[in-house]
Structure 1
């Protein structure tokens, strides 16, 4: 009887929440997508006929905005662990607003690219910048949706010290999106 209880306990500790597992599958697929694009970037650049240009200044500033959103998301997680509901709602809201500001800055960064005569069609060096930043922007929109769902749950008091799965998923995904942008930004800075 004791062996069956130990076996059941061992199986329970190895189980993964299906939502957490799905999030990690999604993150792995995003990593594979961007690994493929950055690899294609390097291969195409090595072929020649590559126009070099400076990234828009707004890409630099937007990177700091996104890092700030990571800090506010971390504060949201800490607030949830301590059942500080107002701090949780405020932190998620700040993260959401900073995410929107990032997207707006990226859009205006594209306008700066056009002003530098770097277009989506034409030389592949410009196309890759639009594709990489645009795909990241699409994924960030999915992160904003996750944030909105978490914000609604926070107002309904469904996120608290005893129910942290949703905020953990939200925090992990948001930090991942921030880290992904830092990687892409540094990749473009050092390989442009």
Structure 2
């Protein structure tokens, strides 16, 4: 339980830092400015941008809490005698690298969009979309490989947790791909990069978070999290 609290505290710290970057603590009524500036569109645009980012931040906080509950249940269940951990297929390593490349591609697209480089932004979006689909397809092949080796869903609790958690992560990736596809299509509709900048930033933010979640899950399945738990228990005791 202590480890779960530490993990939740880490997520809360990241979200708090990110929200601070969105100037949630600012006092606009104390900021200097002329009266004529109030009705202009840039203020409204800035407000809508901040609202969209805050909304995504809240959603990611909920997603992080959901996976934290899964991880907590995983730790509690793995201590029983009927638990046999699954072997880690080599393809899972490749999928992890592919998801990293997808996150890097979207970060590149975000940077290029901020610089108003339309072609480079589109290339980054396409690369992120292709690698994102590649990760999802690779996960399906991992499932197929494990089932072929006899690690079926109802064989033991470790199998059930693996399919449940990776399936839930895959559904979130699928939802992200839908949003990313729409953003990519808009980017190719001869729109200037500034008009899709917010969408690109939100997609990149979502993708980075899903990569972080996957790295934690991968460490969990690989058994590295057990060592982390032991270290935390020693420090807390």
TM-score (norm 1): 0.88
1:176 and 2:209 aligned: yes
**Could you say which residue in structure 2 is the equivalent of 1:97?**
130
Which aligned pairs between 1:63-74 and structure 2 lie closer than 5 A? 63-74=96-107
Distance 2:219 2:130 in 1: 24
* TM-score, length of structure 2 as denominator length: 0.72
1:10-89 counterparts in 2 under 5 A?
A: 17-89=50-122
Secondary structure of residue in 2 paired with 1:50: coil
Q: CA RMSD in A?
A: 2.3
Listed as ranges, the gaps of 5+ residues in structure 1 are: none
- Contact kept, 8 Å, 1:89 with 1:154, in 2: the verdict is yes
Separation in 1, partners of 2:222, 2:191: 42
Measure how far apart 1:163 and its partner are: 6.0
Inter-partner Cα distance in structure 1 for 2:115 and 2:164: 40
How far apart are the structure 2 equivalents of 1:119 and 1:54? 13
Match of 2:10 in 1: none
Extract unaligned runs of 5+ from structure 2. 1-26, 33-42, 227-237
> How far off is 1:46 after superposition?
1.1
| Partner SS for 2:85 | coil
CA shift for structure 1 position 143: 0.9
Deviates most, 155-164 or 106-115? 155-164
Q: Which of 1 and 2 has higher RCO (CA within 8 Å, sep 6+)? A: 1
**Aligned twin of 1:112:** 145
Shift in Å at residue 47 of structure 1?
Answer: 2.2
Q: Secondary structure at the match of 1:139?
A: helix
Quote how far apart the aligned CAs of 1:21 are.
1.7
8 Å CA contact 2:187, 2:196 repeated in 1: no
State whether structure 2 residue 221 is matched by structure 1 residue 188.
yes
CA distance in 1, matches of 2:107, 2:187: 15
8 A Cα contact 1:147 1:170, kept in partner: yes
Q: CA deviation at 1:165?
A: 2.0
- Gap change, CA 1:6 and 1:77, over 3 Å in 2: closer
Residue 169 of structure 2: aligned partner: 136
Q: Alpha carbons of 1:163 and 1:116: their partners in 2 closer, same or farther (altered >3 Å)?
A: closer
Equivalent residue pairs, number: 186
Runs of at least 4 residues off by over 6 Å: none
